[in-house]
Amino acid sequence: MEKLNFTTIDEVVYNEQLPNGLNVILISKKTLSKTFGIFTTDFGGADLEFIPYNETEAVQIPSGTAHYLEHKLFDKGDHDVYTEFGKLGSDANAYTNDSETSYYFTTVGNEIENVELLLNFVQDPYLTDDTVNKEKGIISQEYQMYADIPEQRIYLAVQESLFAKHPVRHEVLGTLDSINNMTKEQLLTAYETFYHPTNMTLAVSGNFDTEEMMTAIRSNQELKKFPEIGPFTRVYPNEQKEVHESQQILHMNVSVPKMMIGIKEYVGEIPSKELGMRKLLTNMTLDYFYSRSGTFYQELAESELIDSSFIYTSVIDKTFGFTMIGSNSAHPELLAEQIKKQLKSLSSADLEEQQFERLKKRTIGKTLRRMNSIENNAQGMIWNRNRGLSYFETIPAIQQLTLDDWKTFLFSWIDEERLTVCTIMPE
């Protein structure tokens, strides 16, 4: 095992890549009572086309494949994996987003047994025509449920408006057509590439003995056989710089209109260092200008243009980036006008060194609070590793940022052709 000491935050991480390619991250915290384990494949809803190892032709899989697989791996035909975790006294679940699928548990005992169960059920798919077909109705109902939630619908509307071709524009669950036409063969095609140990990471954080845990994981993997596999290539369509649609208006059963502005950050792969810096600066900018303690938020609130639903969020990733800002509003057009005006003013904002240093300290404080969570640490280690970054180097990275870095970012952050406005109006 490789031992990594992060003296800035007094953390020790053990890392090992097993002979089958699986990367293992262990963060032992013996002073805690609980343990969190997460097993992640670098495969999400936006991964719909790839060239398999030793092949030249691209393979396409249906929208929603990653999420469908997440559902099916818990079903073993004669038993349900959730019940097995329950017998060990743990809670288990999973999630799929645009970039990854993760399976996880939380426990206060039986740590090794839980990790072994986590590895075993994910690495042993039970897929038959009958079990795959049985799931179609369940996932279709889930799709319909989310389609009826205004917050979910406007989030997807923004992605559809921002991106013309990149698969991030699609709902992670897929479409009703792709769900109802999903086949066992399509799921196996995705599983055989994206669920190979070389594309997966296991992270365990909490109360356990590092040597005992690592020995158990090695033994578990040595008993399993996986096909030899090399690098495969993900394929994404060429995406335009400007938004697909500058405006989209939907009608739903809502009492108050809901407005969301989307910012198309970038498309195409960017270097790891640039990705890390951009993620930090985007989140710091949003926190500084749009948090509830900021002057702009107060102005919007006093003008009664927003309510407590006001939100800002950003997704910065390997091949795409976008930001959303919005709220319920009785005057959605005026709110959009005010936010766009404020966004465009940032390129010439009068910023001082003292302001930026305060922002850096505030960001470091929030980061340290997040790092008090074993769940955040395990998930953060995986997310950063898959992007060539180091989670526990986040604070030094913040400290190294300069006012010029921030000004340079703000100067090119906003462009009219990369903005969209989506609104949900009452029916």
Give catalytic residues, as residue numbers.
70
Buried/exposed code over 54-93 (b: 16+ C-beta within 10 A; e: otherwise): eeeeebebbbbbbbbbbbbbbbbeeeebeebbeebebebe
Distances (CA, A) of 396 to 57, 324, 359, 370, 422: 43, 27, 15, 15, 37
Place of tokens 């939100």: 311
| Cα first-last separation, the chain | 60
Helix (H) / strand (E) element for 82: namely helix 81-87
The first and second tokens of residue 388, run together, are 């060539």
Query: What does DSSP assign to residue 170?
Result: S
Query: Quick check: helix, strand or coil at residue 263?
Result: strand
CA distances from 253 to 72, 311, 351, 355, 425 (A): 33, 21, 43, 43, 8
Report residue 149: phi and psi, to 5°.
Answer: -100, 115
416: buried, middle or exposed (CB in 10 Å: 19+, 13-18, 0-12)?
Answer: exposed
Which among 294, 398, 415, 392 has a CA at the least distance from the CA of 346? 415
CB 217 within 8 A of CB 393: no
Instruction: Report whether 61 contacts 52 (CB < 8 A).
Output: no
Paired tokens of 348? 């010439």
